[in-house]
Amino acid sequence: MTQLEAARKGIITPEMEEVAKREGLSPEEVRERVSKGTVIIPRNRNRKNIQRIEGIGEGLRTKVNANIGTSSDYVNYQEELEKLKAAVEAGADAVMDLSTGGDLDYMRRRVLEECPVMVGTVPIYQAAIECRISGRPVISMEKEHLFDVIRKHAEDGVDFVTVHCGVTIQAIERMEREGRVLGVVSRGGAIITAWMKANRKQNPLYEYYDELLDIAKEYDMVLSLGDGLRPGCIADATDRAQIEELITIGELVQRAWEKGVQVMVEGPGHVPLHQIAANMVLQKRICHGAPFYVLGPVVTDVAPGYDHLVSAIGGAIAAANGADFLCYVTPSEHLRLPTVEDVREGVIAARIAAHAADIAKGVKGAAQWDLEMSKARWNLDWERQMELALDPVKARAMRGSRPPKKEEDVCTMCGEYCAIKMIRG
Amino acid sequence: MTQLEAARKGIITPEMEEVAKREGLSPEEVRERVSKGTVIIPRNRNRKNIQRIEGIGEGLRTKVNANIGTSSDYVNYQEELEKLKAAVEAGADAVMDLSTGGDLDYMRRRVLEECPVMVGTVPIYQAAIECRISGRPVISMEKEHLFDVIRKHAEDGVDFVTVHCGVTIQAIERMEREGRVLGVVSRGGAIITAWMKANRKQNPLYEYYDELLDIAKEYDMVLSLGDGLRPGCIADATDRAQIEELITIGELVQRAWEKGVQVMVEGPGHVPLHQIAANMVLQKRICHGAPFYVLGPVVTDVAPGYDHLVSAIGGAIAAANGADFLCYVTPSEHLRLPTVEDVREGVIAARIAAHAADIAKGVKGAAQWDLEMSKARWNLDWERQMELALDPVKARAMRGSRPPKKEEDVCTMCGEYCAIKMIRG
């Protein structure tokens, strides 16, 4: 039984118990949401070494994912495992291995071994790369091969996989009729689109969706319905192709639920600030409350080097308006494969966005953390402030680099003219 | 004549011409907004060496201010002048000298000499510090002394001054009746509050507001009506004291306009994400469309070391909902006096927030920048992408640190699996 099937039968699984405990909810509240599909618990039956089970969705703390992985241009397994460690230490709730270079099976299995939190992958990368390595173009990828790779990831214990099932012929045609500045920027979406156009065939992930559901069900692996046609710049945001794909994804959510398969929906991407709330409302309505996993959104295209910050703006607004799961973006986005330090900065930025949103949407306990910090500030209790900081190491280092000279209980910003000291008298 | 008086008489000043040119508006559009008070042009009659005149307000690009200045704990004039230079190079539209240590007149005059953009100050700091230096407590500050300092700043050519006129006895009483976690966190607000409570007198900046207007009018110095009771933590946001002060400020805006004095309004502070839009609507309505200058807002209290990012989230939402002018916050906020690098990071973060908001509110030309970048991305034109980057130096350095190996027209994130390349074919 999947978590969804168990929940429908009224069974409270150990995973639901753990999620309830973490969120300060009753196990019954969690079970009820899992049964409706508005909460998922990604945890592959075959997954080992997972030390933290988390739920994603309705009323829960907004979760954060960090992407790691080799690229065809840069393969260093050890560095990727360091990124994994840095991401988890910085507080990531999930890690996706998006490797596209070197020995993909080795890398994925190492990640699954060493990662204490849920792990996701995008199997189509491996299928495409294996074509390429065997000397054939990506468009020669066979459906059976793609599904074999998905099954292998499931068997290995991957907790959730991104599958771009909503990229249909109709959606691509609509994209081409309307026109786009940046075409397709999702790697998986680009592979599928190129394949469909070259082979003049429907997307196999759509056509054979039932087979995919069977695999997912067997392992209780969550399907993350990828937005292969997500906008790659704000000018393309919320266009007809994006929404056409979303509508199809909504139907696929329902089919997953009918089969007892846990599912979430991926979302944009690049979206201008004033369109974010509408995108969240639309997804929640069309997908009947399925958990929403967004990448960014990036609210301006002009700040490469700072896309973690750009995404924190978009992510905070998205999560406050209903997104449940934020995929981090690092400062390196649009420039290079991220470094270990970029991974750290990316996770922290996404966690700040998630927490700011959790305060706004009234997630249990969220505002309490801020209240404790505020009380420590009023008490000029610096040790407590450092303990409560989202990143205590950085906070301590910064304060320590310019410590107060005359009075120990202030900081060098205001010195003896500390407003709090003046008011406390 | 002030800019406001000239505009009312139908005169288009050279300053209005310059603002119109920068914003891509007609001089008449700018004149009309200045005449209503919804746009201000800070430019003291005595100010020398200003190389860039900018307007702030209705329909204009959102502007960014950087605070610099010595503290009682750390006095290094040269470093503050380096911060000034770094702020302007990073794109700040205004600089405030908030010095509270060393020779305040010297520092302010050096800033006025070397700064190519508008300069603001908070004169009450100097009045309070001069009391303290002469061996008396801050609460012994005399009204005449405070006003003399304000006049001195005006004579020196300061373009706008923060004056906490809205901190009334009634507002303080309301604050005390409701209770707060963090009391008063504005330094100017704390000085005035301590003074009023010790002397059992009304705020002289409120009581003698007409005298203040006379000084401001003489030099066409903008009054920035400070929010001395701004919340210092999200738990205190939008409370009765804050709104009481805002109502008083609304009345003071009207009195300034009646006298032909240009005025803007300062706003919070620490505000949870879901309260920001309401705060913007409230200010615009109560202050009849006067330009709104916000500090942050900080959307969570728990991330010291990252408050530039925390404020970028709040600032973007604030500006998208009506704020016209963002005061940056640096990564050092709540920890120490900022470094030169912190100043740079703070300005860039605020500029990103301002630009994301300008796209959302449809400021002329804002989205065009993003479109150019997106076209460069589609063309895999990396040189053009670097030129268009908000911070080209950082973007180039990051890309250069991990350059592509096999194919020059991609980046090491995706290498040969670049989605754009796959789709372009």
- A281-296 tens-digit pLDDT: 999 999 999 999 999 9
Predicted pLDDT of residue A123: 98
Q: Does the pLDDT at position A424 exceed 90?
A: no
For B402, the closest of A232, A336, A417 (CB atoms) is A336
Radius of gyration, CA atoms only, chain B: 22
Residues of B in contact with A274 (CB under 8 A): 320, 359-361
What pLDDT score does A33 carry?
98
The mean pLDDT value of chain A amounts to 97
Please say whether the beta carbons of A117 and A51 come within 8 A: yes
Residue A158 has pLDDT above 80, yes or no: yes
Q: Which residue among A185, A300, A378 places its CB closest to the CB of B359?
A: A300
**Cβ neighbours of A339 in B, within 8 Å:** 402
State whether A420 and B272 contact (CB < 8 Å): no
Residues forming beta bridges with residue A366, ordered by sequence position: none
Chain A residues touching B310 at Cβ < 8 A? 352, 356
- For testing contact with chain B, the best of A313, A372, A408 (most B CBs within 10 A): A313
A221 CB burial (10 A radius; 0-12, 13-18, 19+): buried
Percent over 70 (pLDDT), chain B: 100
- How many residues belong to chain A? 425
B299, closest residue in chain A (CA to CA): A356
Determine whether the interchain pair B309/A349 forms a contact, defined as Cβ–Cβ distance below 8 Å: yes
Q: Do A235 and B304 touch (CB under 8 A)?
A: no
- Least CB–CB distance from A71: residue in B233, B413, B420: B413
Say if the Cβ atoms of B312 and A316 lie within 8 Å.
no
Q: Residue B424: its pLDDT value, please?
A: 84
Q: Å from B93 to nearest chain A CA?
A: 18
The pLDDT of residue B190? 96
**Residue B290 · residue B248 · CB < 8 Å:** no
Which secondary structure element, helix H or strand E, spans residue B265, and what is its range? strand B263-267
Cross-chain Cβ contact A71/B333 below 8 Å: no
Q: Could you tell me which of B218, B130, B127, B203 has the C-alpha nearest to residue B165?
A: B203
Q: Which residues of A touch B361 (CB under 8 A)?
A: 274
Q: What is the pLDDT of residue B50?
A: 96
Cβ separation A349–B388 shorter than 8 A: no
Closest-CA residue of B relative to A414 is: B71
CB within 8 Å: B190 and A423: yes
- In angstroms, what separates the C-alpha of B359 from chain A's closest C-alpha? 7
| Average pLDDT over all residues of chain B | 97
List chain B residues with CB under 8 Å of A72. Answer: 406, 414-417
Rounded to the nearest angstrom, the minimum Cα separation between B59 and chain A is 16
Q: Distance, in angstroms, between A214 CA and closest chain B CA?
A: 29
What are the chain B neighbours of A357 within 8 Å (beta carbons)?
273
Interface probe for A, chosen from B299, B311, B363, B396 (most Cβ of A below 10 Å), is B299
Q: Looking at CA atoms only, how far is residue A265 from chain B in angstroms? A: 21
How far is the CA of B195 from the CAs of A49, A416, B176, B186, in angstroms? 62, 16, 16, 14
| Chain B partners within 8 Å of A360 (Cβ) | 272-274, 299
Q: 3-class SS at A56? A: strand
CA angle at residue B32 from B30 to B37, to 5 degrees?
95
Q: Is residue B384 pLDDT above 90, yes or no?
A: yes
Amino acid at A100: T
Find, in chain A, the residue whose alpha carbon is nearest to that of B72.
A415
A73-116 per-position pLDDT tens digit: 899 999 999 999 999 999 999 999 999 999 999 999 999 999 99
pLDDT, position B125 = 97
Q: List, in order, residues 6 or more apart from B142 with CB less than 8 Å away.
A: none
Closest CA to B65 of B326, B342, B343: B326
Is the pLDDT reported for residue A422 higher than 90?
Answer: no
Q: How far is A311 from chain B (nearest CA, A)?
A: 9
pLDDT tens track for A311-364: 999 999 999 999 999 999 999 999 999 999 999 999 999 999 999 999 999 999
Residue A346 contacts residue A338 (beta carbons within 8 Å): yes
Residue type at A338? P
* B351-364 pLDDT, tens digit each: 999 999 999 999 99
Our CA-based measurement puts residue B68 at a distance from the nearest CA of chain A, in whole angstroms, of 10
Overall average pLDDT of the B162-176 stretch: 98
A186 interaction partners in chain B (CB closer than 8 Å): 419
From residue A46, alpha-carbon distances to A117, A162, A169, A219 in Å are 14, 18, 35, 7
Which pLDDT value is given to residue A375? 97
The proportion of chain B whose per-residue pLDDT surpasses 90, expressed as a percent, equals: 94
Cα–Cα distance measured from residue B268 to residue B228, given in angstroms and rounded to the nearest whole number: 9
* Residue contact B367–A402, C-beta within 8 A: no
Interface contact A336-B72, CB threshold 8 A: no
Cβ–Cβ < 8 Å for B292, B325: yes
Collect all residues of chain A within an 8 Å Cβ-Cβ radius of residue B359. 234, 272-274, 299-300
Kindly state the average pLDDT of the residues B126-139.
94
Q: In the predicted model, what is the mean pLDDT of residues B253-277?
A: 98
Contacts of A376 (CB under 8 A, 6+ apart): A382, A384, A385, A388
> Whose CA is closest to A324, among A368, A264, A248?
A264
Closest residue in chain B to residue A417, using alpha carbons only = B187
Average pLDDT score over residue span B128-134: 94
B110-127: average pLDDT: 98
A·B CB contacts under 8 A: 356
pLDDT tens across A18-55, in order?
A: 999 999 999 999 999 999 999 999 999 999 999 999 99
Instruction: Give me the mean pLDDT over the B223-231 stretch.
Output: 97
To probe the interface with B, which of A381, A398, A401 has the most B CB atoms within 10 Å? A398
Strand bridging mode A222-225 / A263-267: parallel
Q: Which of A184, A309, A401 to mutate to test the interface with B (most CBs of B within 10 A)?
A: A309
User: Which residues in A lie closer than 8 A to residue B399 (C-beta atoms)?
Assistant: 335-336
Compare CB distances from B71 to A100, A306, A414 and report the shortest one's residue.
A414
Using one digit for the tens of pLDDT, what is the confidence trace for A367-389? 999 999 999 999 999 999 999 99
The single residue listed with the structure tokens 């929640």 is A284
**For the purposes of burial, counting CB atoms within 10 Å of the CB of B14, is it exposed (0-12), middle (13-18) or buried (19 or more)?**
exposed
Q: Are A43 and A153 in contact (CB under 8 A)?
A: no
Of A183, A310, A414, the CB nearest to B420: A183
Chain B residues within an 8 Å CB radius of A390: 302-303, 306
pLDDT number for residue B422: 87
Res B425 pLDDT > 80 = no
Q: How far is A95 from chain B (nearest CA, A)?
A: 17
On chain A, the residues whose CB falls within 8 A of the CB of B194 are 422-423, 425
Chain A residue numbers with beta carbons less than 8 Å from the beta carbon of B130 are: none
Paired with A67 in beta bridges are A96
Among the listed residues B401, B355, B399, the one whose alpha carbon sits nearest the alpha carbon of residue B380: B399
Nearest Cβ partner for A304 among B72, B359, B389: B389
pLDDT the model gives residue A215: 98
CB contact under 8 A, B73 and A416: yes
Give the tens place of pLDDT for each residue, B15-54: 999 999 999 999 999 999 999 999 999 999 999 999 999 9
pLDDT tens string B54-108 = 999 999 999 999 999 999 889 999 999 999 999 999 999 999 999 999 999 999 9
Mean predicted confidence (pLDDT) in B300-305: 98
- C-alpha distances in angstroms, B303 versus A18, A179, B306, B331? 27, 42, 6, 9
End-to-end C-alpha distance for chain B, whole angstroms: 64
Would the CB atoms of A377 and B232 count as touching at under 8 Å? Answer: yes
Look at A399 and B335 and tell me if their CB atoms are within 8 Å: yes
Please give the pLDDT value at position A342: 97
Instruction: Give the pLDDT confidence score for residue A425 in this predicted structure.
Output: 74
Min distance A82 CA to chain B CA atoms (Å): 17
Q: Assign B232 a pLDDT band (cuts: 50, 70, 90).
A: very high
Average pLDDT, integer, range B200-219:
98
